[in-house]
Chain A
Amino acid sequence: MYVATKGGERAIGAAHAWLDETRRGDTSLPEITAAQLAEQLGLAVDRVMAEGSCHDRGLAALAVKQSKGDLIEAAFLLRAYRTTLPRFGASLPLDTDRMAIQRRISATYKDLPGGQVLGPTFDYTHRLLDFSLAAAGGPRSGPPEAEASAEATPRVTEMLAREGLMQREASIEAEPGDLTREPLSFPADRPLRLQALARGDEGFLLSLGYSTQRGYGGNHPFVGEIRMGEVAVEFTPPELGFAIDLGDITVTECQMVNQFKGSRTEPPQFTRGYGLVFGHGERKAMSMALVDRALRAPELGEASDSPAQQQEFVLSHCDNVEATGFVEHLKLPHYVDFQSELESVRTMRASVEKTS
Chain B
Amino acid sequence: MTDSPTDTPNAPSDPPARRRWMSILARAQAAEIAERLDALPPPPPHRRLRGPETGLVMVRGRAGGDGAPFNLGEMTVTRCSLRLEDGVVGHGYVAGRDARQAELAALVDALMQNPARRPALEAAVIAPLAEAQAARRDAQARRAAATRVEFFTMTQMR
- Complex interface bits, A211-226 against B, C-beta within 8 A gives 1, otherwise 0: 0000000000000000
Q: How long is the Cα–Cα vector from A356 to B56 in the complex, in angstroms?
A: 68
A324 in the interface (beta carbon within 8 A): no
The answer to whether the Cβ of A149 comes within 8 Å of any Cβ in the partner chain is yes
Give the size of the chain B interface in residues (CB under 8 angstroms). Answer: 58
Q: Which residues of A contact B155 (CB under 8 A)?
A: none
Given A92-B60, A233-B75, check contact A243 B19 (CB 8 Å). yes
Are A255 and B71 within 8 A (Cβ)? Answer: no
Query: What separation, in Å, do the CA atoms of A86 and B55 have in the docked complex?
Result: 5
The number of inter-chain residue pairs (CB within 8 angstroms) is 246
Q: By the criterion CB–CB under 8 Å, are B26 and A244 in contact?
A: yes
| Minimum CB–CB distance for B72 against chain A, Å | 5
User: Are B137 and A100 in contact, with the CB atoms below 8 A?
Assistant: yes
From A50, A110, A157, B151 is in contact (CB under 8 Å) with: A110
Q: Are B56 and A199 in contact (CB under 8 A)?
A: no
B72 contacts A276, CB within 8 Å? yes
What is the predominant secondary structure among interface residues of chain B facing chain A? mixed
Interface residues of A in 255-281 (CB under 8 A from B): 255, 272, 274, 276, 278
Q: Which residues of A sit under 8 angstroms from B149, Cβ to Cβ? A: 115-118
Residue of B nearest to A155 (CB): B65
CB distance from A282 to the nearest CB of B (A): 15
A111 to B55, CA, bound (A): 44
Interface check A36, CB cutoff 8 A: no
Residue ranges of B at the interface with A (Cβ–Cβ < 8 Å):
5-6, 8, 12, 15, 18-19, 22-23, 26-27, 53-77, 79, 81, 91, 93-97, 137-149, 151
A143 touches B71 (CB 8 A): no
A149 touching B145 in the complex, CB below 8 Å, given contacts A97-B65, A195-B70: yes
Give A contacts to B, CB under 8 Å. 49-50, 53-56, 58-59, 82, 85-94, 96-97, 100-103, 110-111, 115-120, 143-149, 155, 157-158, 169-180, 190-192, 194-195, 198-199, 229-230, 232-233, 235, 237-249, 251, 253, 255, 272, 274, 276, 278
Across the interface, do A50 and B73 meet the contact criterion of CB distance under 8 Å? yes
Counting from the closest, the 4 A-B pairs by CB-CB distance are A169-B67, A247-B95, A191-B70, A245-B23
Known A85-B55, A93-B69, A116-B148; judge A244-B64 contact (CB<8 A).
no
